[in-house]
Chains A and B, each alone.
Chain A
Amino acid sequence: MGDSIVFNDVNFSYHSNDLSHQALKDINLKIPYHSFTAIVGKTGSGKSTLVQQINGLLKPTSGTVMVGNSIISNKTPDKKLFKLRKKVGIVFQFPEHQLFEDTVLKDVCFGPKNIGYNDNDVMTLAEKSLQVVDFPKRLYDQSPFNLSGGQMRRVAIAGVLAMNPKILILDEPTAGLDQIGKRSIMNLIYNLYCKRNLTIIMVTHQMSDVSDYADHVIVMNNGKMVKMTTPRLLFENYNLVLHNNLRMPEVVNFAYHLKQNGVSFSKIPLNIKELTTLIVNKLHR
């Protein structure tokens, strides 16, 4: 019980009196701690709404969300959520929505300071976090709003990392990052999951990130959870992908075309290494 995130009959509406426009409908799911879960689905399907339930930024209109031993319901007062928010860090889809201090460094310090780290630790944590996201040092004293889009994204990620959350929620963390940034942030996240045992929940439109990194995937459609499965089972199910307006990762797509043209294989390759091996074996036979 204490080692997972559980949604029990969660419904959510942004207009509490209007249940015809529900953003979440009857969500029941269980995300084990220390797993890497991707959330996918069309624009407007409810992904951002779903993840914001996990630290109580949004509270279910009906039903409950349990994070370990904390319960969030409609009636949970905000002051009861403080402890939870120490544990659950969330990087928003729009970095501007979480930046507010007048310098980058102050912004990244805010989180750890707020949850009670002492001044020395705060500075160490902040500087280290800005370093791991490759944020240029010369801009530490810049206003976080006078930055490029990708630089803002990095500050927002650093701000959350500096709080050392146990559960890390990322809403399209690599949107707007350059190629090197995408790769290094994904490696960073993956390392936090593998080596530091964090629970990672990541909303993404990048199907290759799902197949490359996640061990579970939740498919959302029109406010409902259509399926919780593994990336392999998702991408082996052509109809599931098609009917939920998703796409195959490029690797899987390539493999499907091979198969359609008589190049047979038993297990679908999920990443470029697996695809390369498959082709090499076919050519060397």
Chain B
Amino acid sequence: MSLISVSHLIYKYNHQDTQNALDNITFNVDEGEWLSIIGPNGSGKSTLVKAIDGLIHINNENSVLINGQSYNKNANQIRSQIGMVFQNPDNQFIASTVEDDVAFGLENRNIDFNKMKTIVEQSLKLVGMYEYRDSKPENLSGGQKQRVALAGIISLKPRIILLDEATSMLDPNGKISMLNLIRKIKQKFHLTIISVTHDVNEVEYSNQTLILKHGKIINKAPSKRILLDANLLWKNGLDIPFYRKLIYQLKQKKIHVPSSIVSEKELLKWVIQSSLMT
């Protein structure tokens, strides 16, 4: 049985809407997987992760099952296993200081005070925000908010982490270090990750990728394969890995790069060798 199972999921925000925000979505995510969800603005990515997080009401309760359980019958049990970082971190903060905010989720879990303090401290240190523990969350910079939101989720050690463009406002090094951090804790605790993103570099961290468009699944395949398919990405208005763009530009100038080249490193090596040979 898959850890997350979505089947024939249909969702509309309003009865009178002519278009479904989610239109007959079916896919599974196995434990330990990292799934990327990509697609144009308004294609339904956030709606889909909200459905998996149990935040929107779904008519057919069996269309979203977490570990075989539905939100209708086992909401509390599921909720304790899932954590989500929202697209807008402002929607996530509850408490009036960073420290209390991270502690908030833990407070409902019968953990003793000292242990809780340690976990909060550790989580904030992991994301590099410990020195801001006394700040008000709403007074942080954009990237700082995203880091604190992530700390709040990490502290709960959920089995499944949903990330809705959770690194969109980080500086480029910060983005890499957050993604590496997520990869590390994923491996350590055997977590399952779903991340919504517009950034191909983030897609590279995942093993599966799902493309949404107009609320429908256009494709779902191993991320490696999707990232290689520049045509598919281009056709659906998605970002293309840098080295693919460069290969395309070179081709326009009648320079044909061997099709065996499937990474920036390999392209670099090929250019170096070819130019030193001439």
Chain A positions within 8 Å of B, measured between CB atoms, are: 14, 41-44, 48, 93-94, 96, 136, 146-151, 154, 172, 175-182, 205, 207, 245-247, 250-251, 254, 257-258, 261-263, 272-273, 275-276, 279-280, 282-285
Contact = CB atoms under 8 A, between A and B. Distances in A.
Place the interface of chain B in its size category. 35 or more
B142 A172 contact: yes
Contacts of A273: 249
B173 A247 contact: yes
B163 to A, nearest CB: 13
A272 B87 contact: no
Given A43-B142, A148-B41, A176-B165, A263 B272 contact: yes
B88 A94 contact: yes
Interface of B: 13, 39-42, 45-46, 87-88, 90, 139-144, 147, 165, 168-175, 198, 237-239, 242, 245-246, 249-250, 252-253, 255, 264, 268, 271-272, 274-276, 278
A246 B237 contact: no
B198 A178 contact: yes
Contacts of A172: 142, 169
Contacts of B40: 150, 178, 180-181
Contact of A263 (B144, B237, B275): B275
Contact of B246 (A96, A246, A254): A254
Given A205-B175, A254-B246, 8 more contacts: A41-B171, A177-B198, A180-B40, A262-B272, A263-B272, A272-B245, A272-B249, A282-B278
Contact of B253 (A96, A148, A149, A280): A280
A181 B139 contact: no
Contacts of B142: 43, 48, 93-94, 172, 175
Given A44-B143, A151-B42, A205 B172 contact: yes
B268 A254 contact: yes
Given A146-B13, A175-B168, A272-B245, A42 B237 contact: no
A42 to B, nearest CB: 5
Most buried by B among A44, A151, A246: A44
A149 B41 contact: yes
Contacts of A181: 40-41
Contacts of A275: 246, 249
Nearest to B38: A178
Given A180-B40, A272-B246, A276-B253, A247 B272 contact: no
B239 A179 contact: yes
B64 to A, nearest CB: 20
A247 B169 CA distance: 15
What does DSSP make chain B's interface, helix, strand, loop or mixed? helix
B250 A43 contact: no
A137 to B, nearest CB: 13
Contacts, number: 136
B198 A179 contact: yes
Nearest to B173: A245
Given A136-B42, A178-B237, A258-B268, A246 B250 contact: no
A149 B87 contact: yes
Interface centre among A154, A207, A280 (most CB of B within 10 A): A280
A275 B45 CA distance: 35
Contacts of B246: 254, 272, 275-276
A148 B45 CA distance: 9
B276 A151 contact: no
A148 B278 contact: no
Given A48-B141, A177-B198, A280-B250, A43 B170 contact: yes
B172 A207 contact: yes
Contacts of B250: 276, 279-280
Contacts of B140: 44
A139 to B, nearest CB: 8
Given A172-B169, A177-B41, A42 B272 contact: no
A179 B275 CA distance: 32
A176 B168 contact: yes
Contacts of A180: 40, 237
Nearest to B41: A150
6 contacts: A43-B171, A149-B87, A149-B165, A178-B198, A254-B246, A279-B271
Nearest to B233: A179
A276 B271 CA distance: 11
B238 A179 contact: yes
A149 B275 contact: no
